[in-house]
Amino acid sequence: MEKSKKFFKEADKNTLALFGIAIMIFAIMGIFAPKSFLGIANLQGMCIQFPEYGILALGMMLAMISGGIDLSLVGIANFSSIVGSIVMIKTGGSGISILFGIATALTVGALCGLFNGFLIGYLRIPAMLVTLCGLQLYTGLGLAVTKGPALTGLPESYSLLANGAFFGVPIALIIFLVVVGCVSYILKATVYGQQVLYMGTNDVASRYSGINNLKVTMKTYLTGGILGAISGVLMASHYNSAKADYGSSYTLLTLLIAVLGGTDPDGGKGRVAGVAMAVVVLQLVSSAFNIMRVNAFVKTFVWGLLLLVIMIITKLVENRRKEA
Amino acid sequence: MSKKVKHILATNEAIVVYIIIALCTLIGIVNPAFFGVSTVITLSRAMLITLIFATCEMIVIISGGIDVSFPAVACIAMYSTIRFLLAFEIDSPVIAYLCVSVIGLLFGALNAYLIAKIKLPPLIATLGVSSVANGATLAFLGTKEISNIPEKIDALSKVFILSYTNPQGITYQLTVMFLIPLCMILAAFYILKYTMLGRGIYAIGGDKNAARIAGFNVTKIQFIVYMTSGLFAGIGGLTYTILMRQASPQSLMGSEMMVIAAVVVGGTRITGGHGTMIGTVLGVLLIAIVQNNLIMLGIPTHYQTFVVGLIIVIGTSITSLRAKKIANSAKV
Amino acid sequence: MNTTERKLVRMMADTFLKLDHIKKYFGGVKALKGVSLEVRSGEIHCLAGENGCGKSTLIKVISGAHDATEGEIYIEGSKIDKLTPIESIRLGIQVIYQDFAVFPNLSVAENIAMNRALMTGNKKMNWKEARELALQAMEQIGAHMDPDVLVERLSVANKQMVAICRAIINDAKLLILDEPTTALTANEVEKLNTIIRNLKAKGMAIVIVNHKLDEIYKIADRLTILRNGENVATGMITEFDRARFVKCMTGHEVADTIYRPEPSDEEIVKVENLTKKGAFEQVSFCVKKGDMLGITGLLGSGRGEIGDALFGIAPAEEGVITLNGKKIEIHSIQDAMQHKIGYVPEDRLTQGLFMNRSICQNTVAASIAKYLGKMGLNHNKMKEITNYWIKTIGCAAPSAEATMRTLSGGNAQKMVIAKWLNTEPSLLILNGPTVGVDVGSKADIHAILHNLAKKGIGVIIISDDLNELIHNCNKLIIMKNGRTSGVLETGDMSEAELTGLLNSGM
């Protein structure tokens, strides 16, 4: 009882509202399409899909908390998974070479993130511009390496990472939960986690409090890069191939999730629980659409509409609070 | 050397000119045929659409905002217009352009409402509108490419204002469509420099609050800016369709990167308040030269995205560093 | 009486603006509780009062930005029912705000000419006319600037000149300057005063918001003092001596608690020949146990730069710093913090506080690493320490979790100091420690600082509040054009003496 009380106290209204929406979708779909929606196949299918962009959304959230934005995440994901895949193929495709490939991908992602962080933190170019350019740059690098088509011939066992299950629980879901746990820990329990919040709230005051803004910015985009790479590894495993333009719709989606999860685009505010909940809600909506055989493009339309509506409501509530 | 000449030689525009000259020299050495009328016509043709979009994007960025929705707005305006014309068997370029203009203006007004009234961050607002417009096009209007464009409209693609046949007997022709960006550029140049509206756009890009105190109607100016952007997007979309001789609901998607890049490389500061029409034209020219001549320089096509990306990163770094240097320089 | 004199007298008597019992409420907050003010053409009228006394609200009522809740406004004798910003400008009222509201991205000429064009409703931009207008305006006040240069490249003083030029070309009859001297050097203040006197001679009414006594005496004809949204005194400047002025401003007699510690030989911090080119040169001083060192000087004298250098924000280039017997080098803020130096910055709102974060988060911002345990950060411990500081330092805060925004200026400043005390500093530098702080909190803060000094923590106060310095510092450095006076013992120096020193050639 104590524990659940504490849980509700710590979760903010936004997260609770999302939780409510998720349960509502489950209830409605459970009534109208119980077999297809609540079936194991659908549940597993959902669990394979959302970790890919859910992890990206966490990277977006971190960048937004720091007062910036990261539009290059999808580019990083694809480029790092391409390099990782090449390493995997070149080293023979054994178990060790898969691990080696994944390690390479994460390293590449980290380097891309560091490059973003350097341009934003050291040269002080606006984050939006840097990461918009970064998206082009990393996608371009991916294209340059693959010459265009998807990179195939990945080891069979590699695809288990995204598509396999561990005691019935999809491995992708486990990875997602681990990442959520890590990011949550970083934000809540590390010095960096507090510093990024300070910097996002007021970067001058954070400098005058002895926080090294450059270091914090670098760490933020480095983490973003690694998260991008993890998502890239999952995508490559999911399709069993790597390509420079997989997941091109994810940039908008991650932005939507971050905002939906209660992250403030002006910086200084964001919750892992909220973002994780937003990921689940969006996947449920998406899945419900699929089952109702709604045209896939309607989703793009709805995502955009949702983003606008949520932002408008947030702003209106904020304005009202200011007036009061 | 007088101070004024020195100043002109160190502007952003001048730097872009130097880079263009260096690049042209390099290309000219590899391929002497580069220096010729044919190149001018090819480049003009290649720049046509980008110029339209770059002009409106520049105005938006000067005003302190950003618009990433114009490709989606262009697509929905153009595609729905073509579908409408085909359905009612209307074949008139005037009505076609009127239609895209109205749709473009409507989406521009939506952007403006979200940004000026609700006060959403421009990037998020236009990204949302982009997604709504693109999703609506594909979901409700269809995904097929339409190649049976109404005849009279289609015929516009075969009207030329300039024709040149080189010694090898290849004919290069410049389409009449080139007049559209030309008029837009001249109009934008005049408005930005010689009207109070134009100066107001610079003013709100420099300091919104100061502009309000001075007596500018900030909301009205923002509406004009984003609606112009929507209008130009719609016209650009239809022009593109006429040139390509087919209407595709998604062909322009993704072009925002290149356009923003061209604007920023041309010296417009992404933070607003600074930018010139000449600079933007030069920026578009630079990127068009790079894109059109990569192969000639021995760079394979699949490197194109990367090389363009690299140029953008370098270009934006230079402009940002220059802005930083001015901010840190001794005050007078 | 000759004709010019007679004319002057008549002009003095012309009331341009009259406010009668103006009240302004924001929800339940009473910002103005019935303020009356009379401003005559051809006079310089100073509006004084502590922060939060309602000065800025009053200006906004005059400029039409705020609607008065109650009360009447008369301009040139006729009653104005509703004053809008544009109406106010048309009637000849021009306000120069503290941030000048100029456009950094536009040229000097355009900045100056823009308001005229907006007022006339001209749709076209005439560059030639703008240039001429700008040159004319600059000539009128004796400013010399290249009309084509962008305003972002101008110094603060020149930006102000641009704002003044812009105001006067619109046939202004009343010019209001909101704290015009805060960012100006001594020379620039002199120049500004000359310009203001010239405008006055032309018959313009001028209102200057200021709270620095010396500056007011130099320029004002008449004075109105506000406190807590009420006007407490109005009269010719000659009717106010210092004691009356302070009493009107604060509502208290100045309590003379003078801090003079026992002399000690224990050196806390010693600075020798500290130099940063263009900011200060050859600064040397020594703070012994119990000492409170004050650094003062006019703006641009290098007083603030010394603090910035010691805290590593803009490090010094030469010089030796010895802290508790150990030579240290400071190249960055991180260096300074490693050597346990704390800095309470000048601008509390932007540099000192995270307004949207909780008091607890503000308190531990500079010492967050202390709370890293084996299981990550210990948030409970942070809360405990915050509660401890709230109690120790005497901050009126509802709880550790309340946002910083809910605190008053004085309480917020106490928490900025607590933030640094929580780092267990060896040296604490405070730049303007009591700016915008109410009298009660001011005394509290001074008491806290005295205690620190007694405990053996080095305390350096950088301030332009001479009264504060004389009462709290036993040692004083006066800065002038980057050079120091050397260390002075305050002893029983009076404020007048100090003012003399400050303005002398040294």
pLDDT in tens, C462-486: 988 788 888 889 899 988 888 888 7
Domains in chain C, number? 4
Written as one letter, the residue type at A152 is T
Contact partners for chain C, using 3 or more CB pairs closer than 8 A, are A, B
Residues C62 and C178 in one domain: yes
Structural contact between residues A66 and A216, judged by C-beta atoms closer than 8 angstroms: yes
Mean pLDDT of C444-454: 90
Q: With beta carbons under 8 A apart, name residues in chain A contacting B119.
A: 315
| Contact of C17 with C39, CB cutoff 8 Å | yes
Tell me how crowded residue B186 is: count the other CB atoms within 10 A of its CB.
Answer: 11
**B contacts of A124 (beta carbons < 8 Å):** 320, 324
Reported in sequence order, the residue ranges of B72-197 that DSSP labels E, i.e. its strands, are 160-165, 171-175
**Chain B / chain C CB contacts < 8 angstroms:** 74
Evaluate whether B259 touches B268 at the Cβ level (below 8 Å): no
Residue C178 shares a structural domain with residue C81: yes
Quick one: C236 and C246 in the same domain? yes
pLDDT(A189) > 80: yes
DSSP C437-453: --HHHHHHHHHHHHHHH
pLDDT more than 70, % of chain C: 94
Q: Given CB atoms, is C110 within the 8 Å cutoff of chain B?
A: yes
Q: Which domain holds residue C153?
A: 97-172
Does pLDDT of B219 surpass 90? yes
All structural domains of chain A with their residue ranges = 59-314
User: What's the burial of A98, exposed, middle or buried (CB within 10 Å: 0-12/13-18/19+)?
Assistant: buried
Q: Looking at residue C8, what is its pLDDT? A: 47
pLDDT at A168: 79
Question: Would you say C350 and A203 are in contact if contact means Cβ atoms under 8 Å apart?
Answer: no
**pLDDT above 80 for C145:** yes
**Do B119 and A315 make contact, defined as CB atoms within 8 angstroms?**
yes
Most A-contacting residue of C310, C333, C348, C379 (CB-CB within 10 A), to test interface: C333
pLDDT at position C107: 93
Give domain status of residue C445, yes or no. Answer: no
- The rounded distance, in Å, linking the Cα atoms of B138 and B143 is 5
Do C63 and C163 have their domain in common? no
Output the pLDDT for position C504: 67
Tell me how far apart the alpha carbons of residues B124 and B58 are, in angstroms, rounded to a whole number.
18
What was the pLDDT predicted at C252? 66
pLDDT confidence bin for C386, thresholds 50/70/90: very high
**For residues B132, B133, B135 and B140, what is the CA-based torsion angle, rounded to 10 degrees?**
120
pLDDT of residue A81 exceeding 90, the answer is: yes
Contact assessment for residue C32 and residue C23, using Cβ atoms and an 8 Å cutoff: yes
> B252, B266, B232: which is closest to B62 by C-alpha?
B266
Residues C289, C265, single domain; the answer is: yes
Q: Which two tokens stand for residue B236?
A: 């650009």
Beta-strand relationship, C341-344 and C427-431: parallel
Say if residue C86 is in the same domain as residue C221: yes
Q: To which residue do tokens 């980057």 refer?
A: C482
Secondary structure class of C423 (helix, strand, coil): coil
CA dist., res. C499 & res. C494, Å (int): 9
Residue C284: pLDDT over 80 = yes
What residues are paired with C341 via a beta bridge? C427
Q: What is the pLDDT of residue A4?
A: 52
Among A259, A297, A315, beta carbon nearest to B139: A297
Q: Are residues C77 and C178 in the same domain?
A: yes
Domains in chain B, please, with CATH? 3-328 (1.10.3470)
Closest-CA residue to C424 (of C339, C327, C312, C308)? C339
Instruction: Identify whether residues C107 and C225 lie together within a single domain.
Output: no
Q: Which are the contacts of C474, defined by CB distance < 8 A and separation ≥ 6?
A: C259, C260, C261, C291, C292, C489, C490
Would you mind telling me the total number of residues written for chain C in this entry? 506
Would you state the pLDDT for residue C11?
A: 46
Q: Please give the full DSSP string across B19-68, using - where no structure is assigned.
A: HHHHHHHHHHHH-GGGSSHHHHHHHHHHHHHHHHHHHHHHHHHHTT----
CATH code, domain carrying C244: 3.40.50.300
Q: Is residue C81 within 8 Å of residue C258, measured between CB atoms?
A: no
Top pLDDT among C80 and B60 is at B60
Instruction: Give yes or no for residue C300 having a pLDDT over 80.
Output: no
Query: Of the candidates C152, C172, C192, which is a domain's last residue?
Result: C172
| C30 & C86 share domain | yes
Residue C390 located in a structural domain: yes
Coil, helix or strand for A59?
helix
More confident residue, C187 or B205: B205
Tokens of C473: 């510092």
C308 inside 8 A of chain B by CB: no
Q: Which stretch of A94-103, A109-118, A160-169 has the lowest confidence by average pLDDT? A: A160-169
Cβ-defined contact of B215 to C152 (cutoff 8 Å): no
Q: Out of B194, B273, B326, whose CB is closest to C153?
A: B326
Report pLDDT digits (tens) over A170-181.
899 999 999 999
> Measured between beta carbons, which residues in chain B are less than 8 angstroms from residue A314?
none
Does any CB of chain A come closer than 8 Å to the CB of residue C406? Answer: no
Cβ contact, residue pair C114, B273, below 8 Å: no
Distance CA B284, CA B270 (A): 16
The reply to whether B118 touches chain C by the CB within 8 Å rule is no
Question: For residue C306, is it within any domain?
Answer: yes
What average pLDDT does chain C have?
A: 85
C179 closest CA partner among C48, C40, C17: C48
Closest CA relative to residue A278, chosen from A260, A264, A301: A260
In CATH terms, the fold of domain A59-314 is: ABC transporter involved in vitamin B12 uptake, BtuC (1.10.3470)
Q: Same domain, yes or no, for C316 and C355? A: no
Residue A285 contacts B where some CB pair is shorter than 8 Å: no
CA distance C359 to C397: 8
With 0-12 CB in 10 A as exposed, 13-18 as middle and 19+ as buried, what is A16? middle
Which amino acid does the sequence have at A212? Answer: N
- DSSP conformational letter for C153: G
DSSP H or E segment with residue C335: helix C333-338
Question: Using CA atoms, how far apart are residues A125 and C7, in angstroms rounded to an integer?
Answer: 60
- Smallest CA-to-CA distance from B230 within B92, B34, B15, B67 is with B67
Are A249 and A301 contacting, i.e. CB atoms less than 8 angstroms apart?
no
- Across the beta sheet with C78-80, the strand order is C29-40, C15-26, C70-75, C78-80
Mean pLDDT computed over C335-348: 91
Q: What is the mean pLDDT of residues A147-168?
A: 86
Query: In this structure, what DSSP letter does residue A120 have?
Result: I
- Report, as an integer, the average pLDDT of C88-109: 88
Nearest 10 degrees: CA dihedral of C153, C159, C162, C166? 120
Q: Is A210 on the interface with C (CB under 8 A)?
A: yes
Is the minimum CB–CB distance between A266 and chain C shorter than 8 Å? no
Task: Give the model's confidence band at C441: pLDDT under 50 very low, under 70 low, under 90 confident, else very high.
Answer: confident
Lowest mean pLDDT among A173-187, C35-49, C295-309: C295-309
Please report the DSSP string for B291-318 in residue order: HHHTTTTT--GGGHHHHHHHHHHHHHHH
**C318 near C283, Cβ under 8 Å?**
no
Same domain, C234 and C294: no
Of C424, C446, C471, the residue that ends a domain is C424
Rounded Cα distance between A135 and A71, Å, is 7
Kindly state whether residue C506 falls inside one of the protein's structural domains. no
Instruction: Specify the pLDDT at position A56.
Output: 96
pLDDT digits (tens, 9 = 90+) for A215-241: 999 999 999 999 999 999 999 999 899
Judged by DSSP in three states, C164 sits in: helix
Report the interhelical angle of B122-136 vs A250-260 (nearest 10°). Answer: 120
Say if residue C54 is in the same domain as residue C32: yes
pLDDT for position C153: 87
When comparing pLDDT for C248 and B288, which is higher? B288
Residues of C in contact with A204 (CB under 8 A): 350-351
pLDDT at C232 over 90: no
**Of A55-59, C16-20, C116-120, minimum mean pLDDT range:** C116-120
Asked if A291 contacts A37 with a C-beta cutoff of 8 angstroms, the reply is: yes
Q: Which of A190, A205, A210 sits opposite C334 (nearest CB)?
A: A210
Give the span between the Cα atoms of A15 and A269, in whole angstroms: 13
CA–CA separation, A5 and A19 (whole Å): 16
Phi, psi of C303 (to 5 degrees): -65, -45
Q: Which of A133, A144, A315 sits opposite B316 (nearest CB)?
A: A133
